[in-house]
Amino acid sequence: MTPAKKLSLCSAIVLGFFIVSLFFHYIQGIYLGASYPFSTYLFFPGDALGDFHGLCEMLARFDPFHTTYNGFGNNYPPFTYLSIAPFTAMGFQTGVIVYFAVSFVGFLLFMWTIFRSAGPLTDTGLLNFLILGALTYPLHFSLDRSNVENLCFLFTAAFLVTWRSKRETLAAVLLGTAAAIKVIPALFAVIFLRERRFRPILIAAFVALGCTALAMVLFHVSPAELLSIYRASAPSFQEFALHPFSPVQHSVSLLAALRAWTVLVTPEKGINPAWIASTVSTYGNLSPVLFFLIIGAAFTPWTETWEKLLLVVAATLLVPPISFDYKLLHLFIPFALFIANDKSTKRDRTYTILFALLFSAKGFWVIYADVTISVIVNAVALSLMSAMIIKTAAGRRRASLA
């Protein structure tokens, strides 16, 4: 498939799901008087922009590592708080408007680079741009939560754009900054390893460490104290992970999909505290193996660049026991390279459909509480894409050895 055809197919699917979701939830909420979660495919309306509000409270005294929010401690790297501080310093009302605008405009600019790489922008292309630029579920969910993940995505997206334009040093700086906000983007350095470019990797590492050190100095926290704070906050997150539905709702984790499926098949077992504790413990022991299996495939020479980035994103979304849907935003990074790849394969249509499915709102079936079928669909779609890439890589390896 050509890049333009991929974009058209993806846009058509996203638009279809958006229209159906819009009418489904409108009818449920307005005509039938149903309450959340039937009235929206987003999070609880009363907690709109809640993640940004929490960050405002934690940074009110510019001392996030000695402040808690709703009983939860700190699990972010130091630079995460420093990167969002310019927005929270404006106060909640002004800060969230500015942050919302920066997140949305930044996303649109990134999508514009994707469409420009697909060739001349026709009337159809412009329509597709408006659809994928404004109507995807990951964008809506991330804007609704206004989580710091938005900022991390913008730096990662800027890294990809500068890397593609051959500005290697700037790309490395942006990647290092993204990794300082949330560690996971550091794995995107795999694209430098493919070209045996170690200098940008060192630059990115130096920038990430420098940003972290700067934040620690400004927040007056030492390495030993930081580790102690992380240990002290662990029990609150472990308790959260054992909740019957909170870590499962709006998630893309394999564990969340397993728990949702169990409730779907055997409701009483799925919310049994003993079963949840046993499942979470067992999964915790197996998840590192799964993570390195997926990541290992990304670092082999038999995967294309977009496939490497897809596997990195898949590992970081699927494997953690708690993985909320705003992280789906990072799928647009490998999607950009997938669209730009003009080497047509027989699986292009399947990949395009799966990308579109992940980008679409599809919570039409509420399984329990506010957990919908989307939790299962997202995990299955992303797992299928990963399996297809790994199988293709294995085939290339056999062909190279023949």
Cα 333 from chain centroid (whole Å): 10
Are the C-beta atoms of 92 and 56 separated by less than 8 Å? yes
> Which of 82, 58, 315, 78 minimizes the C-alpha distance to 187?
315
> Dihedral of CA 18/20/22/25: which sign?
negative
Both tokens of 131, joined, read 């659809």
Q: If you count them, how many residues does the chain have?
A: 402
Euclidean distance between CA atoms 316 and 134, whole angstroms:
25
The residues pairing with 251 across neighbouring beta strands, listed in sequence order, are: 324
In percent, the amount of the chain with pLDDT more than 70 equals 99
The residues pairing with 368 across neighbouring beta strands, listed in sequence order, are: 371
Q: Is the pLDDT of residue 233 over 90?
A: no
pLDDT class for 69, splitting at 50, 70, 90?
low
Separation of first and last alpha carbons in the chain? 28
Euclidean distance between CA atoms 98 and 107, whole angstroms:
14
Are the C-beta atoms of 364 and 272 separated by less than 8 Å? no
Measured at the CA of 138, the angle between CA 247 and CA 390, to 5 degrees, comes to 80
Sole residue written with tokens 């929010």: 69
Total domains present in the chain: 1
Instruction: Work out the average pLDDT over 86-101.
Output: 96
Task: Check whether the bond before 334 is cis (ω within 30° of 0).
Answer: no
- Tell me which of 117-126, 141-150, 369-378 is least confident: 117-126
Question: How much is the mean pLDDT over the chain?
Answer: 93
Q: Is 371 helix (H, G, I), strand (E, B) or coil?
A: strand
Q: Is the pLDDT of residue 369 over 70?
A: yes
Euclidean distance between CA atoms 309 and 386, whole angstroms:
11
- Tell me which of 28-32, 50-54, 119-123, 367-371 is least confident: 119-123
pLDDT of residue 273: 93
- pTM of the predicted model as reported, rounded to 2 decimal places: 0.94
Half-sphere exposure of 324 (CA within 13 A, CB side): 19
pLDDT class for 70, splitting at 50, 70, 90?
low
Both tokens of 43, joined, read 């999070």
Q: Is the pLDDT of residue 341 over 90?
A: no
* Phi, psi angle pair for 141, to nearest 5°: -70, -40
Euclidean distance between CA atoms 16 and 12, whole angstroms:
6
> Which of 323, 324, 309 minimizes the C-alpha distance to 385?
309
Euclidean distance between CA atoms 345 and 323, whole angstroms:
31
Are the C-beta atoms of 79 and 212 separated by less than 8 Å? yes
- Which DSSP string corresponds to 82-117? HHHHHHHTT-HHHHHHHHHHHHHHHHHHHHHHHHHH
Buried b (16+ CB within 10 A) or exposed e, 300-334: eebbbbbbbbbbbbbbbbbbbbebbbbbbbbbbbb
Q: Is 320 helix (H, G, I), strand (E, B) or coil?
A: coil
Euclidean distance between CA atoms 166 and 172, whole angstroms:
11
| pLDDT tens digits, 281-301 | 999 999 999 999 999 999 999
| pLDDT tens digits, 235-271 | 888 888 999 999 999 999 999 999 999 999 999 899 9
Measured at the CA of 298, the angle between CA 256 and CA 332, to 5 degrees, comes to 65
For residue 147, give every residue at least 6 positions away whose Cβ sits within 8 Å of its Cβ, in sequence order, or none: 51, 52, 324, 326
Sole residue written with tokens 């993570």: 291
Q: Is the pLDDT of residue 23 over 70?
A: yes
The residues pairing with 119 across neighbouring beta strands, listed in sequence order, are: none
Domain that holds residue 70: 3-401
Are the C-beta atoms of 141 and 249 separated by less than 8 Å? no
